Each structure stands twice: as structure tokens, then as C-alpha cells.
Amino acid sequence: MKRLILVLGLIASTAIGQVAHATPSTTTYADTSLNWATWTATSNNSADPYGTPDIVSTSVTMDTGKLLNVTFNLASNNVNVASGDLFIDTGANQTWDYVVRSLGTTLNGSAVLGLYAINVGIHDTNAYTMSSDGGLPVTYYRAGLPVGLLATPGSSSLLGTIAYTAGPTAISFDFSSVAPLLFFNSDFIIGYEETCGNDIIYQDVPVPEPGTMVLLGAGMLCLVVYSKRRMSKSA
């Protein structure tokens, strides 16, 4: 019985320790979305991607619920287009809660971009700049898709700045400087595309409940206390 109590105590302390000393973890998701939820492009809506760019996966790095980084991994890119805005829906309710104002940013270089708190419905067509490709014929891009906010949010909704880097194989958004503001305790959705709309990201990101390991540790401690009390009564 003493050995059992020792084992339970070690499990409990390990579980609680993992919460206190968690390290960032990165999860990579394959690109499986043709459009944002229920959106349909008005042209070239049969393939994802349609030409270039080709986003093959999204890598999300988190630390106990805090968002640290979002990287779009590319098989090919197209420097003739530019980045769209990066949207985040924290409630998975088809309303964007945050936006990184990256619309028009180069696909080959770096920038410091604003992170804003917003409240924009995914299907609020009046809120968006729609996809285009610098005036090229419609056959070169997927038309009728939202690629960014039509207007920059007000300064009062600016939460901070994030670091953006882009190149031939990846487009990366570094949220580490504002991570304490972006704490998620439930699934959230990432929405992203470049200005041509040729490849769409609409990715659900599952977030483990932050209290899971704490509850496990508390349960183990309860078992330890209960076992000790039973031993005391039987003595």
C-alpha cells in the first residue's frame, strides 16, 4: 500500500509539474479546405490550390493555450501576388475576433504588422477586400473570395505588433510578443489566403483544456489522501 501511495504521489506531482513547466509544442495540419466555411469562389472553384501559391500545411505553435506562431508551409509561391490578412475566430462561431493586418505585404521579406481585435462576420461581404491578382485576367486567379479587411481597424483596437517573414517555402507570423493576450481554452479557427485567392486556409485548431493536467494531478492527490486515511483507520 505504501508503494501505491508513493506511485500515486509521483503521478500527481508530475501532472501538476507539467502544467507549471510546459514547453511550446508545434502541430502541423494538412491543407484540406477549398474555401472558408460555406464560401464559394465565383471562378475556378473546382481545385485547391488553383495554380500558385500552393500551401501544403499550416504549423501552429502553442504554449499552454497561448498562441506563439502560425506558419504556412509552401510547395510553391508566387511573388506576383501579396499576402492577405490573417484572421482568427476564437469561438468557432464564424465571427473573426482578431486580424493581423498583412493585406498587401510582400511574399519575399519581413515586416512588423498590427494585431487588432475585431468583430467581423465571416459572411459580411461588405467588410472585405476581395481576391484579385493585380489586374490579370480572371483565369489566373480565383475570384469572389475575401482576402482582407476593406478598412484598417481603429487604433483603439490595436493590441500590439507581430513579426512577419515570408519566402519561397514559408510564410510565418510570430505572435510571441503578444502571446499573453492570445490565450485560448477552446478550439479556434485560422483563416488565410493570398491576394489571388488561389489557395485557402480555413483551419480548425484543437486546444486541450488548460486545466486537464491540473485536474488529473488533483485527482491523484485525492487518491493519496484517501489511501492514507484508510490506512490510518485500519491501523
Look at residue 89 in the predicted model and tell me its pLDDT.
97
Q: Do 226 and 220 meet the contact criterion of CB atoms below 8 Å apart?
A: no
All cell numbers assigned to 61? 505553435
Look at residue 210 in the predicted model and tell me its pLDDT.
53
Q: Do 157 and 117 meet the contact criterion of CB atoms below 8 Å apart?
A: yes
State which residues of the chain have pLDDT below 70. Answer: 1-22, 209-235
Look at residue 112 in the predicted model and tell me its pLDDT.
98
| CA 200 – CA 122 distance, rounded (Å) | 14
Helices 212-234 and 2-20, interaxial angle, to 10°? 160
Residue with cell 513579426: 163
Look at residue 234 in the predicted model and tell me its pLDDT.
56
Look at residue 161 in the predicted model and tell me its pLDDT.
98
Domain assignments of the chain as residue spans, ordered by start: 25-210
Q: Do 181 and 160 meet the contact criterion of CB atoms below 8 Å apart?
A: yes
Host H or E run for residue 87 = strand 86-89
| CA 6 – CA 93 distance, rounded (Å) | 45
